[in-house]
Amino acid sequence: VWGGLIDTTPDALPVIERAPEIDGLIIAAGFSGHGFCLGPVTGEIIRDLASEGQTAHPIAPFPRARFAALAETDRQATMLHG
């Protein structure tokens, strides 16, 4: 039995990026309960971004900016019951 919160994004894909507005902040969140499976590669991406400023992994599809076009009415809270 498990109980807890699962962070998710509107498209159920994670956010992985350097935050340009805060120097040194790297965001890796919103894995919709799949963070454990993706932990090793996410750790490698974070390491690359922190030490090299870039990564060979394709993270272009995962910025926060992809949600900027969503209208407020398109944003819905997801309630999971188990």
More confident residue, 59 or 75: 59
**Given this model, what pLDDT does residue 76 score?**
58
Mean per-residue pLDDT over the chain, rounded = 84
| 3-class SS string, the chain | CCCCCCCCCCCCCCEEEECCCCCCCEEEECCCCCHHHHHHHHHHHHHHHHHHCCCCCCCCCCCHHHHCCCCHHHCCCCCCCC
Mean of pLDDT values over 20-39: 87
Mean of pLDDT values over 68-72: 72
